[in-house]
Chain A
Amino acid sequence: MSLSRLFRTPEAAAGLVILGLLVAMAVAAPWLFPRDPLAIAGQPLLPPFQDWALPLGTDRLGRDVVAGLFHGARTSLAVGLAAAAASILVGSIVGTVAGFAGGLVDEVLMRITDAFQTVPGFLLSLALVSVVGPSLSVVVAAIALSAWTGPTRIARAEVLSIRERDYVASARVIGMHPVEIAFREVLPNALPPVLALSSVIVAAAILTEAALSFLGLGDPNRVTWGGMIAEGRAVLRSAPYLSVIPGIALVLSVLGVYLAGEGVVEGTAAREGQA
């Protein structure tokens, strides 16, 4: 798949550019802002564009907003990717086992999936984080806990159709172990549609992480955009930029991830259509 195909639509191009910027911010953060982004850098509540050492100003304690923004991108991306990877991993395994084994195993696994789907995902994450205590790994686990059901359902649906194919039957005939068939023959072929979900999961995970941080359930030793928005809320009337800036960053990233994901899916579909 060539890059030009990915950039075919302006939406996809915009998405990829934003995503690229986001990744660049996350990667560059420790070089551009080597100090702890939570360190006090200057006079508190400095408005943006006043002092070029602190281009976007400072918050109530005098912490640099730009440094927070860059390091926050790291947290957002890390949480988004880790949560998506975890939920896709769990989802595709559970979906494959359910679809391939069928019968009672399928019933049990799918009812468990149903049970998770009936509980609002955010509440589930909220409950887990408030019980276990906020830290980055717990936040990732909490988000994955509510996001694995989507990949599970899709993987199972794919597996149900793939397991009837001729090559699966021939694998059986040559005496391959069912587990081997499931994970070496069936799962790899069921994966592409599951992976198409990843952009949605990453986008949702970034939002969930921000919401948890906003409620004070993020890792307090890291900068997060949600946490920055929550901090700025107390001074919303006098220093709205403190909430607006990370808010814009959040909107753009979610949009970028989503558009880029759409672009990749459409690019793939177009290629398949041509073939």
Chain B
Amino acid sequence: MAGFEISRRKVLAGSAFLLASTALPSIGWSQARKGGRLVVAADSEPRNLNPAIVASNGVFFVSSKVVEPLAEASFDGEDGLEPRLATSWEGSADGLSVTFKLREGVTWHDGQPFSSADVAFSALNVWKPLQNLGRVVFKNLEAVETPDAKTAVFKFSKPTPLQLIKNALPALTSVVPKHVYDGKDIAENPANNAPIGTGPFKFAEHKAGEYYRLERYDKYWGEGEPQLDEIIYRVLPDRAAAAGALEAEEIQLAAFSAVPLADLERISKVPGIKVITEGYEALTYQLVVEINHRRKELADLKVRQAIAHAIDKDFVVKTIFLGYAKPATGIVPQNDKQFYTPDVATYGFDVAKANALLDEAGYPKKDDGKRFALKLLPAPYFNETRQFGDYLRQALAAVGIDAEIVNNDSAAHQKAVYTEHAFDIAIAPPVFRGDPAISTTILVQSGIPDGVPFSNQGGYKNDELDALIAKAAETLDPAARIELYKQFQKKVAADLPLINVAEWGFITVARDTVKNVSNNPRWAVSNWADTYVET
């Protein structure tokens, strides 16, 4: 009976709280800062909220407000960056060291001062050994020297381009407190689920299946920041629910296309709601057909070219993405200003040519009109990847390739594709993160251990490409490095280790009252220190 009492009270408190969360914004706060409570939709609850270990957008969405990187992406800052925990960075001429000057007056949410020891600890004990992306970028990081509390000098064993380090700052350098993690098992630390950082918001609580709550950190270093008093992430796993919740003003913002693309046209006409396509420029997702080169048919370049010709990219963009995407030309997306080159082999939609290439490759149509059968595994993460799976099956049927779709949940899909290689073709949504060396070259590089998600697990090996990737990783001169990556794009487009179909950013839908939305190229995963709700 006692147990019942407690649980009922909890339920009542919880529901009263949720009710309040929707009612409060209209009550208003009349201080110098604009204040307010922002309620946003969250579609998943990551198991580990530590962005220093799991550098993925699902984690950043919540924890980037709590744990800060050394620098954030910016539309107009120098090098496309805006300082956060680091105020300046300088590389040595030999490419073996990078010196960071750190911000003064920064404290952790538990009151301890922030210092260069925290940066050194995060880099050597977390980013390099544990982080999904840091393992690649920081693999040659040998030591971090801390001559004083506000200086950190990264020492590399091999020349490492400053350009790469700069491009990696926003996503890869979330700094965690040494005094919380040191001497304990980092992967099992309870702070991974209730992160402690230096950001504008403190992690307050998480009710599984209901919400996350972040509270304003009063001693944040940014002047007059943060504006908001509180951020609530309401867990709404059903995508159709987010649109309804926005209209009912239960939530004020839905990022990462939580409102289905098909609903955008309708909701953009609802008074008081705006549809925003900016704020994802540094998080470009790519729709990619992954190919298992162990299949003898697919090891033949002509077959891969035929598949590329069989896909109508414009149809994919218009019908599946409803125009909120661009047809891809190659492995680097067009909206990247540093590395992109349009000067690559392209494969227009041409069924006749695809058929001819398949005939030439020695796979004629049999009596039933089919040439050979393939197993197709669409990634289950997005509606669009699944729909593209349905489309691709039809597109391949048109050229006589019989693709059988195998649907899996996320865990089973990752295991099937990236560990067991139990696929012929798969559909993946990798992310381009501002530099090909961060998460793009591993899509085609050979020698990657089994089990690394979004990497070359198709058994593809091209010595020329591998050499190019290795050379670019050590080239210090930015212009020369860009030139190498342009060659890299050409070779990938010519040899088709994978097929890039489209590239897209997400859509944010917000109430008009939410201000300072999408004002940097990683807005959804940045710290929201200047965001406020107008009352």
Q: Which A residues contact B (CB, under 8 angstroms)? A: 36, 38-40, 44, 60-62, 130, 133-134, 216-217, 220-221, 233-239
Contact = CB atoms under 8 A, between A and B. Distances in A.
Nearest to B398: A39
Nearest to B389: A220
Contacts of B320: 60-61
B390 A61 contact: yes
Q: B-side binding surface: helix, strand, loop or mixed?
A: helix
A61 B319 contact: yes
A38 B404 CA distance: 12
A218 B406 CA distance: 10
Given A38-B393, A40-B394, A220 B406 contact: yes
Contact of B262 (A133, A216, A238): A238
Contacts of B76: none
A221 B377 CA distance: 12
Contacts of A220: 389-390, 405-407
B397 A36 contact: yes
The 10 closest A-B pairs by CB, nearest first: A220-B405, A235-B262, A234-B260, A220-B407, A44-B319, A238-B266, A234-B262, A221-B405, A39-B394, A40-B394
B387 interface: yes
B367 interface: no
12 contacts: A60-B262, A61-B319, A61-B390, A61-B391, A133-B408, A216-B407, A220-B405, A220-B406, A234-B263, A235-B262, A236-B240, A237-B243
A220 B406 CA distance: 7
Interface string B376-409: 0000100100010111011001000000111111
Contacts, number: 56
Given A38-B393, A61-B390, A234 B404 contact: no
Contacts of A36: 394, 397
Contacts of B406: 133, 220
In the complex, which of the residues B243, B390, B393 has the most CB atoms of chain A within 10 Å of its own CB atom? Answer: B390
A44 B317 CA distance: 13
Contacts of A236: 240
A61 B243 CA distance: 22
A95 B225 CA distance: 72
A227 to B, nearest CB: 10
B491 interface: no
Contact of B240 (A38, A216, A217, A234): A234
Given A61-B320, A220-B390, A235-B263, 19 more contacts: A36-B394, A36-B397, A38-B390, A39-B394, A39-B397, A40-B394, A61-B319, A61-B394, A133-B406, A133-B408, A220-B405, A220-B407, A221-B393, A221-B405, A237-B243, A237-B266, A238-B262, A238-B263, A239-B262
A38 B393 CA distance: 9
B239 interface: yes
B223 interface: no
Interface in B400-423: 404-409
A40 B407 contact: no
B148 interface: no
B265 interface: yes
Contacts of B405: 220-221
Contacts of A134: 407
A234 B386 CA distance: 13
A221 B390 CA distance: 9
Interface in B159-180: none
Nearest to A238: B266
A40 B391 contact: yes
B240 A233 contact: yes
A231 B393 CA distance: 16
A220 B387 CA distance: 11
A237 B242 CA distance: 13
Nearest to B405: A220
Contacts of B404: 221
A62 B394 CA distance: 12
In the complex, which of the residues B262, B380, B393, B397 has the most CB atoms of chain A within 10 Å of its own CB atom? Answer: B262
Contacts of A217: 407
Contacts of A234: 239-240, 260, 262-263, 383
Interface in B30-76: none
A260 to B, nearest CB: 33
Given A36-B397, A130-B409, A133-B408, A61 B387 contact: yes
Contact of B265 (A40, A233, A238): A238
Contacts of B262: 60, 234-235, 238-239
In the complex, which of the residues A36, A61, A217 has the most CB atoms of chain B within 10 Å of its own CB atom? Answer: A61
A53 to B, nearest CB: 18
A39 B393 CA distance: 9
A10 to B, nearest CB: 39
A146 to B, nearest CB: 21
A61 B380 CA distance: 18
Nearest to A130: B409
A161 B209 CA distance: 52
Contacts of B239: 234
Interface in B252-308: 260, 262-263, 265-266
B325 to A, nearest CB: 15
A38 B389 CA distance: 12
A269 B393 CA distance: 51
A108 to B, nearest CB: 35
Nearest to B239: A234
A104 to B, nearest CB: 41
A59 B68 CA distance: 44
Given A44-B319, A130-B409, A220-B406, A235 B394 contact: no
In the complex, which of the residues A233, A234, A239 has the most CB atoms of chain B within 10 Å of its own CB atom? Answer: A234
